[in-house]
Chain A
Protein backbone atom coordinates (compact mmCIF):
# COMPACT_ATOMS: atom_id res chain seq x y z
CA UNK A 1 0.00 0.00 0.00
CA UNK A 2 1.14 3.55 -0.73
CA UNK A 3 2.51 5.54 2.18
CA UNK A 4 1.06 8.88 3.21
CA UNK A 5 2.58 12.01 4.69
CA UNK A 6 0.59 14.31 6.97
CA UNK A 7 1.60 17.24 9.18
CA UNK A 8 1.78 16.13 12.82
CA UNK A 9 -0.50 18.89 14.08
CA UNK A 10 -2.74 21.74 12.97
CA UNK A 11 -4.88 24.37 14.65
CA UNK A 12 -8.18 25.78 13.51
CA UNK A 13 -10.56 28.39 14.91
CA UNK A 14 -14.06 27.25 15.78
CA UNK A 15 -16.50 27.98 12.94
CA UNK A 16 -13.79 28.21 10.33
CA UNK A 17 -12.97 25.62 7.68
CA UNK A 18 -10.28 23.08 8.56
CA UNK A 19 -8.17 21.94 5.62
CA UNK A 20 -6.08 18.87 6.33
CA UNK A 21 -3.49 17.97 3.68
CA UNK A 22 -2.14 14.55 2.78
CA UNK A 23 0.56 13.51 0.34
CA UNK A 24 0.43 10.07 -1.27
CA UNK A 25 2.79 10.39 -4.22
CA UNK A 26 3.20 6.61 -4.73
CA UNK A 27 -0.51 5.84 -4.96
CA UNK A 28 -1.55 3.29 -7.58
CA UNK A 29 -4.46 3.57 -9.95
CA UNK A 30 -6.74 1.18 -8.05
CA UNK A 31 -6.01 2.47 -4.54
CA UNK A 32 -8.55 4.49 -2.62
CA UNK A 33 -7.86 7.43 -0.32
CA UNK A 34 -9.62 7.03 3.03
CA UNK A 35 -9.93 9.44 5.92
CA UNK A 36 -10.65 8.42 9.49
CA UNK A 37 -10.53 10.33 12.72
CA UNK A 38 -10.00 9.23 16.27
CA UNK A 39 -11.24 11.12 19.25
CA UNK A 40 -9.38 10.35 22.44
CA UNK A 41 -10.05 6.85 23.81
CA UNK A 42 -12.47 5.92 21.03
CA UNK A 43 -12.20 3.72 17.96
CA UNK A 44 -11.41 5.30 14.59
CA UNK A 45 -14.42 6.84 12.90
CA UNK A 46 -14.83 6.67 9.14
CA UNK A 47 -15.18 10.10 7.50
CA UNK A 48 -14.98 9.81 3.75
CA UNK A 49 -13.15 8.11 0.90
CA UNK A 50 -12.51 8.60 -2.81
CA UNK A 51 -10.75 7.18 -5.82
CA UNK A 52 -10.44 9.94 -8.42
CA UNK A 53 -13.28 12.40 -8.06
CA UNK A 54 -13.92 14.86 -5.28
CA UNK A 55 -16.40 13.60 -2.72
CA UNK A 56 -18.70 15.26 -0.21
CA UNK A 57 -20.86 13.89 2.56
CA UNK A 58 -22.51 15.25 5.69
CA UNK A 59 -19.23 15.30 7.58
CA UNK A 60 -16.63 16.57 5.14
CA UNK A 61 -15.37 17.09 1.61
CA UNK A 62 -12.46 15.29 0.01
CA UNK A 63 -10.49 17.00 -2.71
CA UNK A 64 -8.12 14.75 -4.69
CA UNK A 65 -5.66 16.34 -7.11
CA UNK A 66 -5.84 15.33 -10.75
CA UNK A 67 -2.59 13.36 -10.54
CA UNK A 68 -3.92 11.73 -7.33
CA UNK A 69 -0.64 12.38 -5.53
CA UNK A 70 -2.24 14.45 -2.80
CA UNK A 71 -5.59 15.17 -1.22
CA UNK A 72 -7.22 17.56 1.24
CA UNK A 73 -9.90 16.83 3.77
CA UNK A 74 -12.13 19.82 4.40
CA UNK A 75 -14.29 20.24 7.49
CA UNK A 76 -16.39 23.24 6.42
CA UNK A 77 -17.32 24.61 9.85
CA UNK A 78 -15.09 23.12 12.52
CA UNK A 79 -16.46 22.71 16.04
CA UNK A 80 -14.72 21.87 19.29
CA UNK A 81 -15.95 18.29 18.90
CA UNK A 82 -13.87 17.97 15.73
CA UNK A 83 -10.68 18.01 17.80
CA UNK A 84 -9.15 14.63 17.03
CA UNK A 85 -6.34 12.79 15.26
CA UNK A 86 -7.11 12.57 11.54
CA UNK A 87 -5.66 9.71 9.52
CA UNK A 88 -5.21 9.73 5.76
CA UNK A 89 -4.85 6.18 4.48
CA UNK A 90 -4.35 4.70 1.05
CA UNK A 91 -6.21 1.42 0.81
CA UNK A 92 -5.29 -1.12 -1.78
CA UNK A 93 -6.63 -4.42 -3.00
CA UNK A 94 -5.56 -6.36 0.10
CA UNK A 95 -8.60 -5.07 1.98
CA UNK A 96 -6.67 -3.66 4.95
CA UNK A 97 -5.86 -0.23 6.33
CA UNK A 98 -2.33 0.73 7.32
CA UNK A 99 -2.34 3.66 9.72
CA UNK A 100 0.38 6.29 10.01
CA UNK A 101 0.68 8.84 12.80
CA UNK A 102 -2.01 11.16 11.49
CA UNK A 103 -2.60 14.86 12.13
CA UNK A 104 -3.75 16.12 15.50
CA UNK A 105 -6.31 18.80 14.71
CA UNK A 106 -7.05 21.15 17.58
CA UNK A 107 -10.09 23.38 17.19
CA UNK A 108 -9.80 26.44 19.37
CA UNK A 109 -12.70 28.53 20.70
Chain B
Protein backbone atom coordinates (compact mmCIF):
# COMPACT_ATOMS: atom_id res chain seq x y z
CA UNK B 1 0.00 0.00 0.00
CA UNK B 2 1.38 3.42 -0.98
CA UNK B 3 2.34 5.71 1.88
CA UNK B 4 3.20 9.32 2.53
CA UNK B 5 6.90 9.42 3.38
CA UNK B 6 8.33 11.93 5.83
CA UNK B 7 11.79 12.62 7.17
CA UNK B 8 13.36 12.98 9.60
CA UNK B 9 11.21 11.06 12.06
CA UNK B 10 12.74 12.88 15.01
CA UNK B 11 14.68 16.12 15.21
CA UNK B 12 16.18 17.98 18.14
CA UNK B 13 17.40 21.48 17.42
CA UNK B 14 18.54 24.45 19.41
CA UNK B 15 16.54 27.62 19.65
CA UNK B 16 17.31 30.05 16.79
CA UNK B 17 18.62 27.31 14.50
CA UNK B 18 17.07 26.36 11.17
CA UNK B 19 15.24 23.07 10.66
CA UNK B 20 13.65 21.45 7.62
CA UNK B 21 11.21 18.62 7.07
CA UNK B 22 10.70 16.69 3.86
CA UNK B 23 7.59 14.98 2.52
CA UNK B 24 6.99 12.69 -0.45
CA UNK B 25 3.25 12.24 -1.05
CA UNK B 26 1.54 9.22 -2.51
CA UNK B 27 2.26 9.05 -6.24
CA UNK B 28 -0.30 10.94 -8.29
CA UNK B 29 -1.68 12.96 -5.39
CA UNK B 30 -2.03 16.56 -6.49
CA UNK B 31 -2.99 17.98 -3.10
CA UNK B 32 -0.43 18.12 -0.29
CA UNK B 33 -0.92 19.39 3.26
CA UNK B 34 1.34 20.25 6.15
CA UNK B 35 -0.21 20.07 9.61
CA UNK B 36 1.24 20.83 13.04
CA UNK B 37 0.14 18.93 16.12
CA UNK B 38 1.03 20.18 19.58
CA UNK B 39 0.96 17.51 22.28
CA UNK B 40 -2.57 16.94 23.54
CA UNK B 41 -4.27 18.75 20.68
CA UNK B 42 -5.62 17.82 17.26
CA UNK B 43 -3.62 18.57 14.10
CA UNK B 44 -3.88 22.10 12.70
CA UNK B 45 -3.43 22.91 9.04
CA UNK B 46 -0.40 25.05 8.23
CA UNK B 47 -0.38 25.03 4.43
CA UNK B 48 -2.15 23.35 1.54
CA UNK B 49 -0.74 22.89 -1.97
CA UNK B 50 -2.52 22.10 -5.19
CA UNK B 51 0.27 20.82 -7.44
CA UNK B 52 3.03 23.44 -6.98
CA UNK B 53 0.71 26.27 -5.93
CA UNK B 54 -0.19 27.30 -2.41
CA UNK B 55 -3.96 27.41 -2.01
CA UNK B 56 -4.12 28.07 1.73
CA UNK B 57 -1.35 29.29 4.01
CA UNK B 58 -3.48 31.45 6.27
CA UNK B 59 -2.29 29.65 9.42
CA UNK B 60 1.38 29.51 8.48
CA UNK B 61 3.56 31.85 10.62
CA UNK B 62 5.24 33.40 7.62
CA UNK B 63 7.85 35.32 9.59
CA UNK B 64 9.64 32.06 10.37
CA UNK B 65 7.96 29.26 8.43
CA UNK B 66 8.19 28.58 4.72
CA UNK B 67 6.97 25.74 2.53
CA UNK B 68 7.63 24.84 -1.05
CA UNK B 69 6.63 22.21 -3.56
CA UNK B 70 8.67 23.25 -6.55
CA UNK B 71 7.86 20.48 -9.02
CA UNK B 72 4.46 19.65 -7.63
CA UNK B 73 5.64 16.38 -6.10
CA UNK B 74 7.68 16.38 -2.89
CA UNK B 75 7.65 19.25 -0.44
CA UNK B 76 9.83 20.89 2.20
CA UNK B 77 8.70 22.76 5.30
CA UNK B 78 11.34 25.02 6.85
CA UNK B 79 11.48 26.84 10.17
CA UNK B 80 14.04 29.58 10.68
CA UNK B 81 14.72 30.53 13.39
CA UNK B 82 13.19 27.79 15.53
CA UNK B 83 11.55 28.81 18.81
CA UNK B 84 10.74 26.76 21.88
CA UNK B 85 7.02 26.92 21.04
CA UNK B 86 7.63 25.18 17.72
CA UNK B 87 8.13 21.87 19.51
CA UNK B 88 5.43 19.67 17.99
CA UNK B 89 4.77 16.91 15.47
CA UNK B 90 4.72 18.05 11.85
CA UNK B 91 2.45 15.95 9.68
CA UNK B 92 2.36 15.74 5.92
CA UNK B 93 -0.71 14.45 4.11
CA UNK B 94 -1.84 14.05 0.53
CA UNK B 95 -4.92 13.34 -1.55
CA UNK B 96 -6.17 13.21 -5.08
CA UNK B 97 -7.56 16.46 -6.36
CA UNK B 98 -11.25 15.94 -5.81
CA UNK B 99 -12.83 17.09 -2.55
CA UNK B 100 -14.47 13.70 -2.08
CA UNK B 101 -11.14 11.92 -1.96
CA UNK B 102 -9.52 10.63 1.18
CA UNK B 103 -6.57 12.43 2.76
CA UNK B 104 -3.75 10.14 3.85
CA UNK B 105 -1.19 11.09 6.48
CA UNK B 106 2.44 10.25 6.97
CA UNK B 107 3.92 9.13 10.27
CA UNK B 108 4.98 12.66 11.17
CA UNK B 109 8.20 14.38 12.16
CA UNK B 110 8.70 15.12 15.84
CA UNK B 111 10.50 18.38 16.55
CA UNK B 112 11.97 19.29 19.91
CA UNK B 113 13.45 22.76 20.27
CA UNK B 114 15.82 23.16 23.22
Chain B contact residues: helix, strand, loop or mixed: strand
Interface residue? B48 (CB, 8 A)? yes
With A44-B43, A101-B41, A101-B42 known as contacts, the answer to whether A94 contacts B106 (CB < 8 A) is no
| Contacts between chains A and B (CB distance < 8 A), count | 56
With A87-B42, A98-B45, A102-B42 known as contacts, the answer to whether A93 contacts B105 (CB < 8 A) is no
Task: Give Cα A45 to B29, complex, Å.
Answer: 17
The total of chain B residues at the interface (CB under 8 A) is 27
Residues of B within 8 A of A (CB): 4, 31, 33, 41-45, 48, 50, 55-56, 89, 91, 93, 95, 97, 99-100, 102-108, 110
Residues of A within 8 A of B (CB): 32, 34, 36, 41-46, 49, 51, 87, 91-102
